[in-house]
Structure 1
Amino acid sequence: MLAAAGLLDGRRATTHWSYAETLAQQYPGIAVDADVLYVDDGDVLTSAGQVAGIDLCLHMVRTDYGAAAANSAARRLVVPPHRDGGQAQFIATPVSSGNGHSLNGLLDWAIERLHQPLTVTDLAREAGLSPRQLSRQFLAVTGTSPLQRLLTQRIRRAQELLETVHDSVDDIAAQVGLGTAATLRRHFNRRIGTSPDAYRRTFRSGPGSPEARPAG
Structure 2
Amino acid sequence: MGQLRRLEPFSRMYGWDRGTPVDRYYIEAFLKEHSGRIAGRVLEISENTYTYRFGGTAVTSSDVLHYDNPSPPATITGDLTDAPHIPSDSFDCVIITQTLMLIYDVPAALRTIHRILKPGGTVLVTQAGLSQIADPEWRHTWYWGFTQASSQRLFQDAFPGGWVEARAYGNMLSTIAFLAGLGFEELDKRELDHVDPDYQMLIGVIATKAGGPPA
Q: Same fold (TM over 0.5)?
A: no
* More helix by percentage: 1
TM-score by length of 2: 0.31
